[in-house]
Structure 1
Amino acid sequence: MELVKELDKQGNFLFKYRGILPLIILVVGMGVYAYEVWEAAGTYRIRFQDNEYEFFCLAVALLGLVIRILTVGFTPRNTSGRNTAQQVADTLNTSGMYSTVRHPLYVGNFFMWLGVAMLTQHAWFIVAFVLLYWLYYERIMFTEEKFISSKFGAKFYEWAARTPAIIPNPAKWRNPDLHFNLKKVLRQEKNGVFAVFLLFFLFDTLGEYLTYGDVSFRNTHWLVMCVASGVLYLVLKLLKNHTQVLWDKDH
């Protein structure tokens, strides 16, 4: 099979199952973290209650979430979604975040999961995550751009020629064509908000158990943030599924 066709085939497959990568990070990352904490028991190489570092990791993850919010909030219907069955693009997004980078959602995802990967405090795991992420999403981006170029033709090539693929260039920023849609953000990004705080809570709880042999929620703030984001997730899910509060005719 030609390399182009092979990349497209792989990209379509990975597009449908792109939610698997976070699960891999969770399972492998927690294993690495557990080993590091266990090996360092009684030393100061890894400190369970190193809140400054954990909050730095959280800041990285929240940066990714902000990028996603700024992307999703300014895009029209049937674009920048969580669909996995097939490619959808009724409109070519070229303003807002899409004026600085062609794949802002994947940039956001990168920082969200980089923040989680950094919790392991294991340099080689973090490097491996970055390389895996690139190989994983490079194929998805290839497939997406093939689909979009076939649909929008010259308009896509003109936009692609001036817009970097994955490393944002803020100097190219152009104000969004639409108003910010908070309802769309609440519908689509509730999962990500809850996932971030849940993972930080799980890592912290695992570290506490391996360090002290019990779970007393010594770092109460992670428990509070996890519960709060979980409640928010449930409320938004109920509003989305059983009411029209988070829906409007334009989005």
Structure 2
Amino acid sequence: MRHNCRFMRLADHFVRSGDTLFRYRGQLPLLMLPVFALGMLDARLPADLPPAGRAVQAAAVLLALCGLVIRVLSIGTAPEGTSERSTTSPRASRLRTTGFYSIVRHPLYLGNTITAVGLGAFTTRWYVPVIVLLLGLLYHERIAAREEAFLEDRFGDEFRRWAEAVPAMVPRLSAYVPSDTPFVWKRVLGREFHGLMAIASVVFVLDISRRGLAGATLTPDPLWGWFFALSAAIFVVFTALKKTTGMFRT
């Protein structure tokens, strides 16, 4: 009995710390930037990368974009009243159990982690994505504990049955159940262009940092320069449309 009591106190600690992290979850990824900087300083990459190095970086960016795709597919089919956006505490009037939520309980955090690992791999230092993965799991675990405590209190047995059948962060593809709601492009386009801009910005900064450390001019590799320019154009246009029109309202 004493062991269970200690376990519950630890679980309560996870929930309390998760409550704090939930409020600042948008800023937490910034704590990983020093790890990226350390990787670039340690890598000492040449100004002009050999084909193997360019291939590693291209694969890293594709991995980061895969994380964004997971977010897009999860958000695009979210019914009204599920996973409502809030900066203070979790909110939901419905429990979502189909689509991506039928194979993993926290697909948005899975997507975030994959994106962060991909950006870490862009440094070409093996330990950077490992550190990023561990940091991501550490704080997502606590935020997820806070959200699950809310969902269990809100939905009771319905949540417990779903949680027993669906893994938290490692998808079980064989359990996939198609979403019971159609994909809503307006919702995705109105929210996830920020994610594309964030990925492109980190890649751009890391690339010009690499060239600067190698003693070259602070100009990006053409591929990443165009990637950043395209992402920035999308960001500016979509931000203007969101503020001046109702195009993205659902």
* Aligned-pair identity (%): 32
The TM-score, its normalising length taken from structure 2, stands at 0.90
For 1:49 and 1:210, locate their aligned partners in 2 and report how far apart those are by CA, in whole Å.
Answer: 20
Code of the aligned partner of 1:29:
F
Q: Say which of 91, 96, 115 aligns to 1:88.
A: 91
Displacement of 1:216 in angstroms is 3.6
Displacement of 1:59 in angstroms is 1.2
Code of the aligned partner of 1:88:
R
Q: Which residue of 2 aligns with 1:245?
A: 247
Residue pairs, 1:117-196, within 5 angstroms: 117-196=120-199
Question: Does the CA contact (< 8 Å) of 1:48 and 1:211 recur in 2?
Answer: no
Residue pairs, 1:22-61, within 5 angstroms: 22-37=29-44, 50-61=53-64
Over residues 3-43 of structure 1, what are the superposed CA-to-partner deviations in whole Å (9 max), with x where a residue is unaligned?
22221110000111112232112233123312321xx669x
Code of the aligned partner of 1:144:
E
SS of equivalent residue, structure 1 residue 50: helix
Which structure 2 residue ranges, 5 or more long, are not aligned?
A: 1-5
Q: Say which of 229, 232, 235 aligns to 2:234.
A: 232
For 2:202 and 2:213, locate their aligned partners in 1 and report how far apart those are by CA, in whole Å.
Answer: 17
Code of the aligned partner of 1:146:
A
Over residues 75-115 of structure 1, what are the superposed CA-to-partner deviations in whole Å (9 max), with x where a residue is unaligned?
02343455222211121110000000000001100111111
The TM-score, its normalising length taken from structure 1, stands at 0.90
Code of the aligned partner of 2:186:
K
Code of the aligned partner of 2:224:
W
For 1:129 and 1:20, locate their aligned partners in 2 and report how far apart those are by CA, in whole Å.
Answer: 15
For 1:232 and 1:78, locate their aligned partners in 2 and report how far apart those are by CA, in whole Å.
Answer: 28
Q: Which residue of 1 aligns with 2:16?
A: 9
For 1:97 and 1:15, locate their aligned partners in 2 and report how far apart those are by CA, in whole Å.
Answer: 21
Code of the aligned partner of 1:227:
A
Q: Say which of 199, 202, 209 aligns to 1:199.
A: 202
For 1:202 and 1:59, locate their aligned partners in 2 and report how far apart those are by CA, in whole Å.
Answer: 17
Displacement of 1:49 in angstroms is 8.5
Code of the aligned partner of 1:31:
L
- For these two proteins, the number of residue pairs brought into alignment is 243
Structure 1 pair 41/240, CA: closer, same or farther in 2 (3 Å)?
A: closer
Q: Say which of 113, 116, 119 aligns to 2:116.
A: 113
Aligned residues: CA RMSD: 2.1
Over residues 192-247 of structure 1, what are the superposed CA-to-partner deviations in whole Å (9 max), with x where a residue is unaligned?
01111111111111111111331243x21211111111111111112112211111
Which structure 1 residue ranges, 5 or more long, are not aligned?
A: none
